[in-house]
Amino acid sequence: MTLAKRNTYNEDEKLNEHFNWHDYARLGHYLRPYSWRMLLVLGSILIGNIAVILGPYLMKVAIDSAIPQRNFQLLWLLGGIFLASLLVAFGCFRYRIWAITEIGQNLLIDMRTDLFTNLQQLPFSYFDSRPHGKILIRVVNYINTLSDLLANGLVNLISDIISLLVTLVFMFAINWKLTLDSLVLIPFLLIWAYYIQKKQRVAYRELSNKQSNLNAYIHESIDGIKVTQGFAQENNAIHAFDTVANDNRDSYMRAVKVQYALSPGVQNISTMTTALIYFIGIQQLGVVVSTGTLIAFLGYINNFWNPVINIGNFYNSLITATAYLERIFETMDEKPTVIDAPDAFALPPIKGDVRFNDVSFRYDDDGPLNLHDVSFHAQAGQTIALVGPTGAGKSTIINLLSRFYNVTSGTITIDNVDISQVTLKSLRTQMGVMQQDTFIFSGTIMDNIRYGRLDATDEEVIHAAKIARADNFIETLPDGYQTTVQERGGSMSAGQRQLLAFARVLLADPRILILDEATAAIDTKTEALLQAGLNELLKGRTSFIVAHRLSTIQQADQILVVNDGQIVEAGRHEDLLAKRGEYYELYESQYRMLQAE
């Protein structure tokens, strides 16, 4: 069996060279539900900015009018207005911070939910072709990075723009010539920002790759820690970690070096503008420009450049977040390949008659065929065993029956209904699948078994566990069925995990039962007990059993011998032995191994 190409932890992911800026418009989809809240925030920003910007103007009036005329009543009035403006600005700022934080968290949940929902619909091939750590970092880290940009950064941008416009209005009202003089260096700032953004995006694309690689390696090393320690390869693991960690550090330092190049440029231009206004204003002081006007104007220059600096920082964040946004949208845009047909209908209750009609399949569109014209008929209630060497295509056959993949050609029918024409939910809810890799969720043993049918009662859960012979070891645990197990069932033996997974499938009470190496990790004694329960369970159900232990499938109604993606032999145990073909050789080989033990 040829697997799909897999990206590894030390391989950088590739994206389009040019980012589609139109994708930023997609962010509006996440802001739309909070439009009215955003309007309130913008209103508070406008009121708060006007309150803050009143300060220099009040100072101008005080210096040019109230103080020279010794008008203390006007001076007290100006002071009262100034104090009120500070209180208004404080209240608006406080509301803005609270509202923005809440909106940001809601945006984070919305984006992460959409991303996670799409992941739930993607085919096995997507997860087979990339390290899970590279998927995890998109759902957690990248979304966290964007959340502040989408809420706080975006609203602050609007706040700064409003502040900038209001400040310009006051500046032009006071002295339009000085205002034009203060804008003379803006073109140099725009040229500098354009130059920096190109380098910054490339740097942060590289950083996102290295962060993804680091996360993938950590995830992989934790999953494989028992193998690492079992072969005493801790030093090699540490060396590999140092390599990806150093790559991440180096790319981060390069990215930060470029990012922080913008801020000094803005600061320098701001300082030169202030110096220019001092130079021009002092020359004209007392002739064209009054003392109060110059002092107020210098205050407004500061108010002008502060939002410019903030907008520059936001632009920095925007370019930085582009690399992460690309990854998020790339995952969101992954299209599920196994989906309901436009005219799909619900599969009615089935009896379990299964037919494979000239089914061929390949994992990659341009790859070789993994199954070649597979055809067989399983009558309702029959037990079908699939045997053959590793990689022959046995698991592929049952994965196609469950529609975890789409067939390349041919058809699969259940009760003469093409499964490609029915809804996935109606198909899979009538099938019970126990994969070769047993997975146990964090939670109680009761919850893990109940995952097969969420509305099952405790009595039904216990009954399924007894049939699967899992009850024997569950009762020995301190809390019995309420015992909490860790992720992947790390505190349990491989055999115990398989017994729990078996009970989970039995609880679903499926019409078609699929067991992929269901007894692989169970000892011979437990297997004999389990077989007794299985014999009762298999009655009246169509069952497909993938097994390497031929002793477990001798009573099957049909045994399909699979090799190199084809069914090379089919029949009952006795008939296949009589043929002295591939099944006979497999059986004799296992028999000799058992005799040698």
The DSSP result for 466-528, as a single string, is: HHTT-HHHHTTSTTGGG-EE-GGGTTS-HHHHHHHHHHHHHHT--SEEEEESTTTTS-HHHHH
Q: What is the pLDDT of residue 3?
A: 40
Residue pair 118/73 in contact by the 8 Å Cβ criterion:
no
| Tokens coding 70 | 């010794």
Handedness of CA 294, 297, 301, 303 (dihedral sign): positive
pLDDT at 512: 92
Q: Is 426 exposed, middle or buried (0-12, 13-18, 19+ CB in 10 A)?
A: middle
Instruction: Using DSSP, state whether 554 is helix, strand or coil.
Output: coil
User: How distant, in Å, are the alpha carbons of 115, 129, 209 from that of 8?
Assistant: 22, 9, 12
Higher-confidence residue of 222 and 559: namely: 559
pLDDT at residue 570 in the model:
93
| Mean pLDDT calculated for residue range 105-118 | 84
Which two three-digit tokens encode residue 30? 């996440």
| Letter string b/e over residues 63-93, b meaning 16 or more CB atoms within 10 A of that residue's CB | bbebeeeeeeeebeebeeeeeebeebbeebb
Measure the CA–CA gap between 89 and 54, rounded to whole angstroms: 11
Q: Which of 528, 511, 509 is nearest to 519 (CA)?
A: 528
Residue 427 pLDDT more than 90?
Answer: yes
Lowest mean pLDDT among 158-172, 244-258, 381-395: 158-172
Q: How confident is the model at residue 375 (pLDDT cuts 50, 70, 90)?
A: very high
pLDDT of residue 346 exceeding 90: yes
Predicted local confidence at residue 119, as pLDDT: 84
Q: What is the mean pLDDT of residues 473-500?
A: 79
Which domains are delineated in the chain?
Answer: 26-332 (1.20.1560.10), 354-596 (3.40.50.300)
Kind of pairing between the strands at 512-516 and 542-546: parallel
Least confident of 99-103, 384-388, 540-544: 99-103
Residue 532 pLDDT class (50, 70, 90 cuts): low
Q: Give the pLDDT of residue 506.
A: 83
Helix/strand/coil for 37: helix
Under the banding of pLDDT at 50, 70 and 90, the label for residue 2 is very low
Question: Do residues 408 and 358 make contact, with C-beta atoms less than 8 angstroms apart?
Answer: no
Q: Report pTM.
A: 0.65
Average the pLDDT over each of 318-322, 347-351, 385-389, 439-443 and give the range with the smallest value: 318-322
* The pLDDT of residue 16 is above 70: no
pLDDT at 132: 73
* Residue 186 confidence (pLDDT) above 80: no
Length of the chain, in residues: 597
Quote the pLDDT of residue 350: 92
Banded model confidence at residue 568, pLDDT cuts 50, 70, 90: very high
Query: What's the one-letter identity of residue 534?
Result: L
Q: Which pLDDT score, from 0 to 100, does residue 529 have? A: 59
Residue 513 clears pLDDT 80, i.e. is over it: yes
**Cα torsion angle, 316, 318, 323, 324, sign:** positive
